[in-house]
A and B are shown apart, each in its own frame.
Chain A
Amino acid sequence: MPHLHKTVLHSLHAESGARLIDFGGWEMPVQYRSQVEEHHAVRRAVGMFDVGHMRAVDISGDGAEAFLRYLLANDVAKLEDGRALYSCMLNARGGIKDDLIVYRCAAGRYRMVLNAATAMADIDWMLEHSTGNCRIDLRNDRTIVALQGPKAAEVLPQLVDKAVAASATALKPFRCTESGDLFIGRTGYTGEDGFEIVLPRDDAPALWRAALDAGVEPCGLGARDTLRLEAGMNLYGQDMDENTFPGEANLSWTVALEPADRDFIGREAVAKAQPQRRLVGLVLEGRGVMRSHMAIRFANGATGETTSGSHSPTMGASIALARVESHAEGEAEVCIRNRWMPVRIVKPPFVRNGEPRV
């Protein structure tokens, strides 16, 4: 068995009886008691996730803005202090190397959060393409805990310093605040209100225990996956990869082609690209569960394939994301275990703030 990385909270998960799996080279909790109950806790109250496998990387210096404007498909020049931006990092062919959130803490000081499996390759890529006058620091001294759900703001003051909690709960979505070593973004991967807390590794166990005491449900990667799927958010490596253009992953809105004089990696390719495929949402009309890599066919002859599929606990039906040919139209069917079953084509998100949207 290959060596798996462990987060600083690993031993606490074992205490809580978590079932652990290998995720991107990290041994992470997939569920604690019930994946469905954990999912509902986040939709209805508040849950927390150990996301210490995701990497915080700080980019700082006089050249930081210029570098990020070259590195990322979205434009950090849009950011004021204390704001966050979702972006793709593209390769020269316009394919997606990774997706990430970048926060502007202050002028010349940015923090990015990268996916676990891709982080090290991303950092090599950044060093290779550095435009100078900036530092790229992988924050191995930090870990990340996500607190998510309609009651997250109610619970936060019990977990962190009161003054920091007050500024964090006053934040609008996609904003961030920091105080000393503690950084809090009003961001997440669930389609609910919530916070992503970046803190010193040594402080994380106390925060986790305080949250357990406050009644916060510990949630594993299983619930995280059904929550993000309901929220219509892509999972890197599954719904998109290096061979996917942003336009084929519902992410055209994250590619800033204006101003026209900003050069960024992949710009030429992505501006010229004429995507032949698009990403749609599916809701299964009958019983069963859609999974990834199931075939889709349309009445007009177009075809496609699911990229992510599962049972939606909120909707009580199976939902999926599927990449289909651009001309796909009309009635559609999915092939589940050699049987073609009708599906409804919808525009994600499936669920937002606790309520079905499709």
Chain B
Amino acid sequence: MSNVPADLRYTKSHEWVRVESDGTMTVGITDHAQAELGDLVFVEVPEVDRALKASEACAVVESVKAASDVYAPVSGTVVAANEKLADAPELLNDDPYGEGWLFRLSGDAAEAEALLDADAYSAEIG
């Protein structure tokens, strides 16, 4: 059974968003997504200061099996990216909602609130 924390927001394309106390938004891929992909071996995160539109392909996660695009769940500017993943892509398998975060955006937090909640995402992945 996949872990779907109640305090996050989700997309149908399996990204999660956490609105931090400073108003920035942290983005990653869900536990369900990492399990489907299997062992991750390569992660490419967006550059800091890049402006993203919602639904834009902005990161790549590759497992032994397949490459998969990650889409920006909301619009915003990249303020931080998880550089640790370059040397340790397995962090994404081990801790998808913590150490395995992908990037952080500044933008309109209301956009995040409009995404799927944990119940809706759980229903989505059946």
Contact = CB atoms under 8 A, between A and B. Distances in A.
A222 B65 CA distance: 7
Contact of A289 (B38, B42, B86): B42
A64 B15 CA distance: 60
B39 interface: yes
Contacts of A313: 64
A289 B41 contact: yes
A31 B67 contact: no
Interface of B: 38-39, 41-42, 44, 60, 62, 64-65, 67, 86
23 contacts: A34-B38, A35-B38, A35-B39, A35-B65, A36-B39, A36-B64, A37-B39, A222-B38, A222-B64, A222-B65, A287-B44, A287-B86, A288-B44, A288-B62, A289-B42, A289-B62, A289-B67, A310-B64, A311-B41, A311-B62, A318-B41, A337-B60, A337-B67
Contacts of B62: 288-289, 311
A288 B44 CA distance: 9
A291 B86 contact: no
A289 to B, nearest CB: 5
B38 A31 contact: yes
A335 B29 CA distance: 26
Contacts of A291: 67
Nearest to B86: A287
A328 B42 CA distance: 29
A34 B39 contact: yes
A169 to B, nearest CB: 32
A332 B44 CA distance: 23
Nearest to A336: B67
Contacts of B64: 35-36, 222, 226, 310-311, 313
A21 to B, nearest CB: 10
Contacts of A289: 41-42, 62, 67
Interface SS of chain B: strand
B65 to A, nearest CB: 6
In the A-B complex, the 8 residue pairs with the smallest Cβ-Cβ separation, listed nearest first, are A311-B41, A36-B39, A289-B62, A311-B64, A35-B64, A289-B42, A35-B38, A35-B39
A337 B67 CA distance: 10
A292 to B, nearest CB: 12
Contacts of A318: 41-42
Contacts of A37: 39
Contacts of B67: 289, 291, 337
Contacts of B60: 337
Nearest to B39: A36
Interface string A21-45: 0000000001100111100000000
A337 B86 CA distance: 17
Interface centre among B38, B39, B60, B64 (most CB of A within 10 A): B64
A287 B42 contact: yes
A31 B62 CA distance: 17
Contacts of A30: 65
Contacts of A288: 42, 44, 62
Contacts of A226: 64
Contacts of A35: 38-39, 64-65
A226 B41 CA distance: 13
A13 B6 CA distance: 33
Interface string A298-339: 000000000000110100001000000000000000000100
Nearest to B69: A337
B119 to A, nearest CB: 26
Contacts of B65: 30, 35, 222
B31 to A, nearest CB: 15
A200 B67 CA distance: 40
A289 B86 CA distance: 13
A37 B39 CA distance: 9
A221 to B, nearest CB: 10
Contacts of A311: 41-42, 62, 64
A112 to B, nearest CB: 31
Interface in A115-165: none
